[in-house]
Amino acid sequence: QVQLVESGGGLVQTGDSLTLSCAASIRTSRMYAMGWFRQAPGLEREFVATISWSGRKTYYADSVKGRFSISRNSAKNTMSLQMNSLKPEDTAVYYCAGARASNSEEYYATRDKYDYWGQGTQVTVSA
């Protein structure tokens, strides 16, 4: 019983900022690492960012490090991805994902660890 819904995508220009949100319906008695992935046309779905259940641990793909920031509000079961200095190569469908975690500090950067996925939200960055 896990459902994830992304929102906040849109069309922006190079250098703009955009914030994506993920609303999660989960069993609060369990711990989940959360992540963001993206997929551009013709390419594989790639890792973007992840955050541990505690929120104390985060990890980013090299391509977005320093520009994107992941956060979560466990009380509200929401997660966000603040994207700054957007580039055309950031254009993709962005997916929210969740993975069962054994402890509050675990996080995962590979697709195989995630069992739950949102429907995706389109982000388009024009030159």
Q: What would the pLDDT profile of 23-82 be if each residue is shown by its tens digit?
A: 998 777 789 999 999 999 999 999 999 999 999 999 999 999 999 999 999 888 899 999
Q: To which H or E segment does residue 37 belong? A: strand 32-39
pLDDT tens profile 65-94: 999 999 999 888 899 999 999 999 999 999
Q: How far apart are CA 34 and CA 36, in angstroms?
A: 7
Q: Which stretches within the chain are classed as H helix?
A: none
Q: How far apart are CA 25 and CA 32, in angstroms?
A: 12
pLDDT tens profile 84-123: 999 999 999 999 999 999 999 999 999 999 999 999 999 9
On average, the pLDDT of the chain sits at 95
